[in-house]
């Protein structure tokens, strides 16, 4: 479900407990290690909050299946290195597929004037969530 979902919800809080949610896209899941990997595209509240407080909750759901999961754990951010570069490659492939799917959908249903994955900036960091708890939604 994590890899099929184009969007998941990441929840963080700053050191004062002020919450923030943002939309992310999972790039890799390492079930044996209990790690979920996604890329940070903006240097905004998510990255600032994780620098102060590494606790992270990631939620994924399927409207069709009426099911979902919340993954709670500790996050680390990597801004360089071989793993970061490898995940950039995975992201570019996933983004290419999303753009291709959107183009096909637009051709079938009429063109959209909405935002596109093609407009997304280059990722600034890889976030690794070390999962400590999984809750069925």
Domain boundaries, the chain: 8-109+118-136
Lowest mean pLDDT among 6-20, 82-96, 104-118: 104-118
Confidence of residue 135 (pLDDT cuts 50, 70, 90): very high
At 103 the pLDDT is 62
**pTM for the predicted model, two decimal places:** 0.75
Q: Where are the beta strands (DSSP E) in 46-124?
A: 55-62, 67-78
Label residue 19 exposed, middle or buried (CB < 10 Å: 0-12, 13-18, 19+): exposed
Q: What is the CATH number of domain 8-109+118-136?
A: 2.30.110.10
- Per residue in 5-35, pLDDT (tens digit) is 878 999 999 999 999 999 998 889 999 999 9
Tally Cβ neighbours within 10 Å of residue 21.
13
- Per residue in 39-66, pLDDT (tens digit) is 888 878 999 999 999 999 999 999 888 9
Instruction: Indicate the average pLDDT of the chain.
Output: 85
Q: 115-134: string of b/e by CB count within 10 Å (b at 16+)? A: eebeebeebebbbbbbbeee
Confidence of residue 119 (pLDDT cuts 50, 70, 90): low
Closest by CA position to 54, among listed 130, 126, 124: 130
Q: 41-70: string of b/e by CB count within 10 Å (b at 16+)? A: beeebbbebbeebbebbbbbbeeeeeebbb
């Amino acid at each position: 479900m994590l890899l099929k979902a184009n969007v998941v919800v990441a929840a963080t809080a700053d050191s004062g407990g002020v919450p923030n949610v943002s939309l992310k896209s999972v790039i890799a899941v390492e079930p044996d290690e209990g790690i979920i990997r996604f890329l940070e595209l903006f240097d905004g509240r998510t990255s600032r909050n994780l620098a102060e407080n590494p606790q992270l909750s990631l939620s994924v759901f399927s409207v069709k299946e009426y099911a979902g999961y919340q993954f709670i754990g500790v996050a680390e951010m990597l801004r360089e290195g071989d793993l970061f570069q490898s995940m950039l490659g995975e992201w570019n492939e996933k983004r290419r597929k999303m753009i291709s799917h959107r183009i096909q959908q637009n051709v079938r249903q009429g063109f959209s004037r909405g935002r596109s994955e093609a407009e997304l900036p280059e990722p600034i960091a890889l976030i690794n969530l070390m999962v400590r708890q999984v809750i069925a939604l």
